[in-house]
Structure 1
Amino acid sequence: MFRTALRNVLAHKARLLMTVLAVMLGVAFVSGTLVFTSTISDAYQASSQKGFDRVDVAVQPRSAGDHRGAPGRTPRLDRKLLDAAARVPGAASATGTVSGFTAIADKKGALIGDGFSTRGGNYFPGKDGTDARYPLRDGTAPKGPHEFALDAHTADKAGYKVGDTVRISVDGPVREQKLTGVFTTDDGTVAAGGSLALFDTPTAQKLFAAPGTFSEIDVTAAPGTSQTALKAAVDKVLPKDGAEATTGRQLADEQAKMIAESMDGMKTGLLAFAGIALFVGVFIIANTFTMLVAQRTKELALLRAVGASRRQVTRSVLIEAFVVGAVAAVTGLAAGVGIGAGLRALMSATGATVPDGPLVVSPSTVATSLLVGIVITVLAAWLPGRRAAKIPPVAAMNSVHATATTKSLVVRNTIGALFAGAGAAGVLVATGMSDGKVVMGGGAALLLIGVFILTPLLSRPLIALAAPVLRAFGISGSLARQNAVRNPRRTAATASALMVGLALITGMTVIAGSVQKGIDKMATDALKADYVVSMASRTPLSPAVEKQLSGLDQVTAVSPLRNSPARIGTGTAYLTGVNGPDFGKLTRLDFTQGALGDLRGDKVVVDDATAKEKGWRPGSRFPVTYEDGKKGTLTVSGVYRGNEMLSGVLLDNATLAPHQKQITDMQVMVKTKDGATDATKDALVTALGKNPAISVSDKQDVSDGIAKMFNLMLNMLYGLLAMAVIVAVLGVINTLAMSVFERSQEIGMLRAIGLDRRGVKRMVRLESLVISLFGGVLGIGLGVFFGWAAGELISGHLATYELVLPWDRMGMFLALAALVGVLAALWPARRAARLNMLASIKAE
């Protein structure tokens, strides 16, 4: 039986090629995902490890996770603590560091690097006058407030040399600094395309922290001193509640863990779509083996007649599947390694920050890929093999086509109806829940499986709707309709592959379009301001920018947004400061209780979620402990609907500013005389010194910025789900090719009685078109339902959410389904038309 199974594999190379391709694509997706995420994760971890090479113990503020610490406390790492750490037993040296966002403009004024990868820090010379972290390649170390040094990678890319004047920005205003030195560094962020600027320590402290303070103190151990021993010594000189010491090894491990966790989300998302591709591939594999087994029914019956048992017949089919799965898994693994390398190159090409590092193909990736390919194929072939073994030998010899019994169809339809009903009910119930993501996901999966099981039942009435159109093509159209419904199970398995892919694509398109509409509406409804000014990196903005804008003739109203931590009751919250007199001219808040009124003094307005949590209403008074530790009492004058742009407790900056230790703006809202025009925007950009670090955005820009992540996710989904559609195309080709082989006698008879080659081609193409459109209609219908249901959940968090049906894209998806049908039929139709009619009639 083993030799028989191998002979069958080699005898049906062409028929099994499509199955190998289907499995290979799924495995390639899985292995490519694992290779890509492992490579990126290891590169980031190696990069972070380099950052701790010279750190044996790091001293950090105890509340480092908070931007300014808890109200009333100011952790300070000062020179006194630095000197004390340097003198502890076992310490070789101590380095005080400060860092923050620093935008470097190229010679054309554009930002070098992107966002948080553009950083600045301090050059901290040791006893020999140099900083071992940053060896100087050219020039000298920076001294004074107007000098700085730049990493060699950025300097070479921008064409800067020692002595050049470079425009930079740290918190808003443009600074012109003299480049005094170019240094080399093994910093992974710089190697990945970021930039690093260094200032002398007093200048860096003024820019990124506070005069005389550090963000971190790094202590290096003397030879023979362990990190643990050094930490114990450093702990003795630390203030009781202001700072904490951590070993470099622990910091590296925590960083590696954070990187691994951040990559887990990407890995899970990519593997989910790999699973979809495999899920679609299962239909094709099962369909392929069902047809292969059906075509060999007589052969298998003969084996049974000469003594083979049911178990041996089933085993022979599974051996075929194992061989096919193994070949596909190996080729898929090789293709996946290429996909992983390509994804990394693509990220680098699009400007993403990716550290250098080798391509990582771990043993677990190899094992997973082989296991997935082989197990999926064997499982998909098990049911057809078992079904073939149960056919009595005499019955199999009498009929090549063993039709499904009425009992089996009733059982299938009953199970399908139960699954679909339970799934639809789960989805509908989830729409009324506050957090029904898990219930909705389970219901959607059940509904998808239920519709797949019911597809044979649905195929006849839905395909019958195409009969009037098919009649226009004469006898070829009539034969195509009959062929499409002749074997409902085969048609269903072929159409389901396309159905799954289009259901997901349509659902995500509906959700993304509706969210975009909601965000556009939110930006239009909530903002009266013409522009919002912020840092490109979303880091705090200097208050000087607001003063500069308010002094312009074309500006009629301006309000910065400032965040400050505070203690309200027993919890910590953020207060948002605004310009009370102008705030009503710049926003259009939807108040559910009270009104904005005169936002001055102790008056505040709060979002509905906070008001509900605290039990506040207009007139409610509550105690507050400000950032500097001073206490006060605030009064609620109104409750508004919070949104992605504005939420929390809003009060006048005149009330908040005296309690802030360092005043910075998150963004500045601006109203102008002439409204949002290109000329006005250019004037604002010019007034701000054409600063590459500052973003001037109108309402549409704000909306696009919020929706950017949704659009990025949608584009990724289109690319990933394209894999499922490709697999579906292979399925249609596979089904038609085997159908042509199975109907060789029939096609020969049709040719003999007058159907020409063109008519045969048209028949096969129309059959393919009908099956593909059937899958497309089901997929788009399910996608719209899923999109609507998910939107009901989203609307609970986005008040302006509005269902949008993208008719143009849905039409494009249906056209895509039709194109799949036409392209998939090219080779089978040509093969059918070239069959020798006499040889076909004589074929067994």
Structure 2
Amino acid sequence: MTAVSNMFAPAVSMARSRLGGLIAVACAVAGGAAMATATGVLAESGIASHTPVERLAAADLTVSGRQYVVQDEDVDVSLTERVPVSSDLVDTVAKVSGVEAAAADVSFPAVILGADGEPATDPTVSGHGWEIAELGASDVKGTAPRDDREVVLDADLTRAEPGEEVTLLVNGEQRRYTVSGIVDAPGSGLYFDSGTAAKLSGHKDGEIDLVAVKVAEGASVDSVTEAVRTATAKSAVEVTSGAARGNVEDLASGASTGMLIALSTSLGGTIVMIVGFIVAGALSVSVAGQRRDLALLRAVGATPRQVRRLIATQATVVAGVATAVGVAAGYAMAGQFADLMRSWGMLPGTLPLSWSPLPGLAATLLLLFVVQLAARAASMRTSRMSAVEAVAESRVEPREPAPWRTAFGFVLMGLALASAMAPIITRSEAAFISAASSIMPALVGLALAAPALVRSTTGWLKRRLPVGGNATTWLAVGNSHGYALRMAGAITVLALAVGFAITQVFSQTSMQAVTDDDLNSGTKIDATVTAPAIGGLTQRDVEQIADQPGVDAAVPLIHTTALWPFTEGDNKRADELPMLAFGSGATSVIDVDVVDGDMSKLTGDAIALDSATAWVEGVDVGDRIDLILADGSKVKPTIVATYSRGFGFGKLIGSSDLVTGHVANRHYDAIAVAGASARLSDWAADNPGREVGTGAASAGLAAGTASPDRWLNLVVSLALLGYVLLGVGNSLVAATTRRRSEFAALRLIGATPAQIRGMMSREALLMTVLAVGAGLALSVVPQSILGLGLLGLPWPQGPLWMIPAMAILVAAIAWLATAAPTRRALRVPPTQALPAQD
């Protein structure tokens, strides 16, 4: 503590005279803190946030299936469908001391039809057994349902009175029911007698969704929860109390919390890397402006460790102020980001963000750690020099970079190029990721090799300048050559902006292009029938549509997920794969470009795999593989075909029989229709809740529709690009500002202000050309390889206008960030500017 305090006063004193360079550090740290805090809020929300309990509010705790698959040393994978539990648990739990009541809960699609025959209630309303309403009913008007023709309605759903009849659509079938009672229960629902509800739920005998438990008055909820856990320990279930019950009631919110954790983890690494890059660059400029001061400190006896500690203390003081601003902005950003995700349907509107000081504290500690490392690294060379060497180099930067640095930089760029070649070898998602992510090691390699590249390039230009040519051009090239390290730092951050923007945008558009190509080539759907208002379609709907005149095929479709378990060393892992499940006759509506096998065999216990995935996993047609379905059911289906259009149709296509045979009451999401039929609209009009759309758009298989996660990636990329450009501009301003004495010396030997401005403009032009050239080489080449490997088109797939647009933007930033501080510096008389410290 004493050592730190001893460094504080000189650090602050030096900082006051070097505000230009430190402002760039402050801006870089503030932007990094904002993004790190926003990411942290999302991560904490994924861990600690829960949807408010509604329908199960009267239950003090729940007993439900485990909605996840355990991964060793990694985040568990959420299951998106309800995992059923044994109905025997109701009696087991009811016998536990302190339990007042235990009720079985099941859910199934059920809506009230209005006078016009259309659904009159929200599709989130569903049917349940009467006992779950009884658990928390505070006021019942009428009687409980006694048979399969009676129903109790929640008071919020209807104005009907007991004894009146209502028309309900239950599991897609229309039927008249007598209202036996009206109940004021938590949440909205339609309540049937227990036997009817069990039958309508579609569960196998002896299975239910969950057990809702009410604790006796005076008993401790925590104690009863532990007792229930002990009583059900052999049943592989989760006993949940408190706010977490909301995630049990609403599975979508539970799955969203897992998505938030995964998203934050994914973004976190990229953000930390870019923040570290920008902060390190800003600190390098700041330290470069203090070389003379540091050299003098070495001359008067300061040790290398003291010099590094002084710079680290100075940077930490600045970062401490900047992080406070950044953290506040980060909390605001998190709220806006969550609203955007909700608008795209990626986050339930009922799931609140978790607001606590922890994300801000974590972001502060992370940024301070990055600043400490960057500051000590930036001051390492100067601190290790002898006092004489330090004084000499305070005016002229080292002319030759370390040989290892250049060699290692070229090795990294070579490895990045090799990584970008993956799409030429295999047409797969892994190859796409390999090519798209090659930009990061390439940019690190450029940062290491840039001084040597700049010195070589400017040396070549210098030798070719005509004798007696333009003085400002000669000065610009000579300065760039003599100060290659300074020029290289600016080029690297500008190239980072170009390369990052091109890669992020064109990666998304390339993925969209190859997905669209697969879907355009492989979709043969003429019409799509959906029923979002009533919870889905049934086999009865499939049969009726198939009987319509002009319909050649009606194939049911389910969008679901499956987990592919595997071991990695001694650790259990599971890859989550989106799965399209088609009914019989899939070849009538899709053409996935079969590589091997026969898609007509996609019935019963069968799946088809993307050929690249099959090759990577070492499986083939006829093999059986282990899968875990969305409700946790473990299956071992047979591979009946492999196909090449995996970008459009996913890595895995299953038989709808495989899903409906294991997932309770699983209705179809859509029915894909082949053949033109004018009667479909008439059929839909006669069947409430059904909708008919042309083509494959309603089936989720239409080309040209970007998924929400791609839009999310684009938004995040644009935010990061803005941060990078801000960092670039601030660093260039700081680097130009510290050249005041250089401008003064030039003026004293005869250079005019116009010549100095011309010199800086030419330096900015040279910097822009080299930066844009490097950025494009490191990004456009991999993106062209991506287009060649995935689509056979050897150029980036996307808006080509973005390439010149980025070049113009970078040129504008380079010019403005050098021209403005140059003009300010030239307003000071040279005799006053020359003694000033740079």
Residue 59 of structure 2 corresponds to 54
Aligned to 1:702, the other structure's residue is in SS state coil
Deviation at 1:753, TM superposition (A): 4.8
Deviation track 1:391-441 (CA, whole Å, cap 9, x = no partner) reads: 5545666675223144x4544323333443455456658975896899889
Inter-partner Cα distance in structure 1 for 2:543 and 2:813: 60
Change (3 A) 1:215 1:524: same
- 2:24/2:727 contact within 8 Å kept: no
Residue 630 of structure 1 corresponds to none
Residue 30 of structure 1 corresponds to 36
- 2:203/2:664 contact within 8 Å kept: no
- 1:273/1:720 contact within 8 Å kept: no
Inter-partner Cα distance in structure 2 for 1:56 and 1:401: 72
Inter-partner Cα distance in structure 1 for 2:305 and 2:114: 73
Change (3 A) 1:809 1:430: closer
Residue 192 of structure 2 corresponds to 200
Inter-partner Cα distance in structure 2 for 1:176 and 1:681: 25
Q: For structure 2, list consecutive stretches of 5 or more residues without a partner in the other structure.
A: 1-5, 70-77, 563-576, 626-636
Counterpart check, 1:722 vs 2:714: no
- 2:85/2:237 contact within 8 Å kept: no
Residue 353 of structure 1 corresponds to 348
Select which of 809, 827, 836 maps to 1:834.
Answer: 827
Change (3 A) 1:346 1:246: closer
Inter-partner Cα distance in structure 2 for 1:416 and 1:269: 26
Q: For structure 1, list consecutive stretches of 5 or more residues without a partner in the other structure.
A: 188-195, 567-572, 623-633
Change (3 A) 1:18 1:111: farther
Deviation at 1:292, TM superposition (A): 1.4
Change (3 A) 1:605 1:821: closer
Residue 493 of structure 2 corresponds to 497
- 1:100/1:121 contact within 8 Å kept: yes
Aligned to 2:738, the other structure's residue is in SS state helix
- 1:601/1:652 contact within 8 Å kept: yes
* Equivalent AA in structure 1 for residue 407 of structure 2: T
Change (3 A) 1:67 1:22: closer
- 1:606/1:638 contact within 8 Å kept: yes
Residue 286 of structure 2 corresponds to 289
After TM superposition, the structure 1 = structure 2 runs for residues 180-579 of structure 1, keeping only pairs within 5 Å, are 185=186, 197-201=189-193, 205=198, 207-209=200-202, 214-222=208-216, 224=219, 226-229=224-227, 247-249=239-241, 261-294=258-291, 297=292, 299-347=293-341, 352-355=347-350, 360-363=355-358, 365-394=359-388, 401-406=395-400, 408-425=401-418, 445-460=440-455, 479-534=475-530, 536=532, 541-553=537-549, 555-561=551-557, 578-579=583-584
* Equivalent AA in structure 1 for residue 712 of structure 2: L
Change (3 A) 1:803 1:556: farther
Deviation at 1:336, TM superposition (A): 2.8
Report the more deviating stretch, 716-725 or 521-530.
716-725
After TM superposition, the structure 1 = structure 2 runs for residues 611-650 of structure 1, keeping only pairs within 5 Å, are 616=621, 641=644, 643=646, 645=649
Deviation at 1:668, TM superposition (A): 1.6
Deviation at 1:275, TM superposition (A): 0.7
Inter-partner Cα distance in structure 2 for 1:670 and 1:561: 10
Deviation at 1:293, TM superposition (A): 2.1
Select which of 7, 10, 18 maps to 1:12.
Answer: 18
- 2:41/2:355 contact within 8 Å kept: yes
Change (3 A) 1:275 1:621: closer
Residue 779 of structure 1 corresponds to 775
Deviation at 1:492, TM superposition (A): 1.6
Change (3 A) 1:17 1:205: same
After TM superposition, the structure 1 = structure 2 runs for residues 576-587 of structure 1, keeping only pairs within 5 Å, are 578-580=583-585, 584-587=587-590
Report the more deviating stretch, 308-317 or 140-149.
140-149
* Equivalent AA in structure 2 for residue 502 of structure 1: V
TM-score by length of 2: 0.73
Deviation at 1:552, TM superposition (A): 4.3
- 1:729/1:824 contact within 8 Å kept: yes
- 1:285/1:381 contact within 8 Å kept: no
Deviation track 1:755-797 (CA, whole Å, cap 9, x = no partner) reads: 44xx6555545533543453333223212344467789x96xx
Change (3 A) 1:497 1:527: same
Inter-partner Cα distance in structure 2 for 1:510 and 1:17: 33
Inter-partner Cα distance in structure 2 for 1:171 and 1:526: 32
Deviation at 1:17, TM superposition (A): 1.5
Inter-partner Cα distance in structure 1 for 2:500 and 2:369: 25
Aligned residues: 771
Aligned to 1:226, the other structure's residue is in SS state helix
Select which of 667, 670, 676 maps to 1:667.
Answer: 670
Inter-partner Cα distance in structure 1 for 2:686 and 2:471: 75
Aligned to 2:813, the other structure's residue is in SS state helix
Aligned to 2:702, the other structure's residue is in SS state helix
Inter-partner Cα distance in structure 2 for 1:668 and 1:399: 75
* Equivalent AA in structure 2 for residue 29 of structure 1: M
Deviation at 1:600, TM superposition (A): 11
Inter-partner Cα distance in structure 2 for 1:645 and 1:712: 21
Report the more deviating stretch, 368-377 or 52-61.
52-61
Counterpart check, 1:816 vs 2:822: no
After TM superposition, the structure 1 = structure 2 runs for residues 68-79 of structure 1, keeping only pairs within 5 Å, are 77=87
- 2:46/2:258 contact within 8 Å kept: no
* Equivalent AA in structure 1 for residue 671 of structure 2: V
Deviation track 1:705-735 (CA, whole Å, cap 9, x = no partner) reads: 5744334333333333432332222222222
Aligned to 1:361, the other structure's residue is in SS state coil
Aligned to 1:668, the other structure's residue is in SS state strand
Aligned to 2:591, the other structure's residue is in SS state coil
- 2:528/2:673 contact within 8 Å kept: yes
Deviation track 1:233-257 (CA, whole Å, cap 9, x = no partner) reads: 689xxxx9xx776544599599799
Change (3 A) 1:181 1:828: farther
Inter-partner Cα distance in structure 2 for 1:478 and 1:419: 33
Change (3 A) 1:251 1:639: same
- 1:502/1:813 contact within 8 Å kept: yes
Aligned to 2:801, the other structure's residue is in SS state helix
* Equivalent AA in structure 2 for residue 336 of structure 1: G
* Equivalent AA in structure 1 for residue 718 of structure 2: Y
Deviation at 1:745, TM superposition (A): 0.9
Deviation track 1:28-54 (CA, whole Å, cap 9, x = no partner) reads: 22123223432454222x747995872
Over aligned residues, Cα RMSD in angstroms? 5.9
Change (3 A) 1:688 1:420: same
TM-score by length of 1: 0.72
Change (3 A) 1:89 1:501: same
Deviation at 1:454, TM superposition (A): 0.9
Inter-partner Cα distance in structure 1 for 2:689 and 2:554: 20
Aligned to 1:665, the other structure's residue is in SS state coil
Report the more deviating stretch, 21-30 or 663-672.
663-672
* Equivalent AA in structure 1 for residue 802 of structure 2: R
* Equivalent AA in structure 2 for residue 316 of structure 1: L
Aligned to 2:63, the other structure's residue is in SS state strand
Inter-partner Cα distance in structure 1 for 2:340 and 2:545: 40
Deviation track 1:37-80 (CA, whole Å, cap 9, x = no partner) reads: 32454222x7479958724463769999999999xxx98749xx
Aligned to 2:289, the other structure's residue is in SS state helix
* Equivalent AA in structure 1 for residue 317 of structure 2: V
Change (3 A) 1:210 1:498: same
Residue 735 of structure 1 corresponds to 735
Deviation at 1:523, TM superposition (A): 1.4
Inter-partner Cα distance in structure 1 for 2:177 and 2:695: 24
Inter-partner Cα distance in structure 1 for 2:320 and 2:399: 34
Percent of pairs identical after alignment?
Answer: 18
Inter-partner Cα distance in structure 1 for 2:683 and 2:424: 45
* Equivalent AA in structure 2 for residue 526 of structure 1: G
- 1:30/1:336 contact within 8 Å kept: yes
Select which of 593, 601, 604 maps to 1:590.
Answer: 593
Counterpart check, 1:42 vs 2:36: no
